[in-house]
Structure 1
């Protein structure tokens, strides 16, 4: 009788664990939340969304090669176009910089643990009134960016 009771207890325990795991999976809870980047402002991207998710880095590297080594400048894959269209506004209504965890690029790059160096030279905020936004960061943005760079240093 006692071994049968142990078997029932084990079945109940395993069933409960399975139900708990299923419930956790269904509610999206986990150790690392998946990114949900904000939608872009424009009507359409330079390419299909699925293609861009998989290949934007290759396109940007090819564009960099064309610009820096060949001197060929084309606006289609220019990073300022990406930043202008995908800008995220903070609580103050102004576009956030790459230092902010809300920044469009950060949402996926943090999730994927991929360090990018684009904004060491390029502006991470969109152009306003035909002028590039200020590249300087200060205060809380600077502290967050420094912490992020320390965390992702490879």
Structure 2
């Protein structure tokens, strides 16, 4: 009985080992580079902790009335805007949008843009 089970076990282990090897070849998302020389904080820190930074700024703004440009969502969107075929910044509806490049990869829903704009302000909108 054990001898008849050995080929099945061998095929099973072979299949699993191929899956493990294939996992190492998962492509990373193509993250568009920002327009500035550097981010407001260390890039590695921002990749891991940007939501804490955004939420802290939101709490300071909403609950304490503090408005600063350094951590504003408009600043992030302006620096990280990705141009589309028409040279205008793409909206969050596009998979090319900066935020979506990682969030789609990680299967994380973005809810910021239910209230906020996903493109930089135009000169006309600032007047």
Shorter-chain TM band: 0.7 to 0.9
Q: Name the CA shift for 1:68/1:15 in 2 (closer, same or farther; >3 Å).
A: closer
1:40-64 CA distance string (max 9 Å, x none): 1211001012211222222212212
Q: Distance in 2 between matches of 1:66 and 1:81?
A: 16
Whose relative contact order is higher, 1 or 2, with alpha carbons under 8 Å and at least 6 apart? 2
| CA pair 8-53 structure 1, distance change in 2 beyond 3 A | same
Q: CA deviation at 1:8?
A: 5.3
Q: Which residue of 1 aligns with 2:59?
A: 65
Establish whether residue 13 from structure 1 lines up as the match of residue 11 from structure 2: yes
Q: Counterparts of 1:69 and 1:52 in 2: how far apart (Å)?
A: 23
1:7 is displaced (CA, Å) by 5.6
1:52 aligns with 2:50: no
**Aligned residues of 1:89 and 1:95 also touching (Cα < 8 A):** yes
8 Å CA contact 1:80–1:126 kept in 2: the answer is yes
Q: What CA RMSD, in Å, does the superposition of the two structures yield over aligned residues?
A: 2.7
TM-score for both structures, normalised by structure 2 = 0.76
* Aligned residues of 1:123 and 1:132 also touching (Cα < 8 A): no
Q: Number of aligned pairs? A: 125
Say whether 1:114 aligns with 2:109. yes
Q: Deviations over 1:102-121 (max 9, x none)?
A: 211123333243341x2233
Whether 1:42 aligns to 2:36 is yes
Cα distance change of structure 1 residues 65 and 18 upon mapping to structure 2, 3 Å threshold: closer
Stretches of structure 2 lacking an aligned partner (at least 5 in a row)? none
Question: Deviation string for 1:12-33 (max 9, x for gaps)?
Answer: 41353144214422332xxxx7
Asked whether the equivalents of residues 101 and 107 of structure 1 are also in contact (C-alpha less than 8 Å), the reply is yes
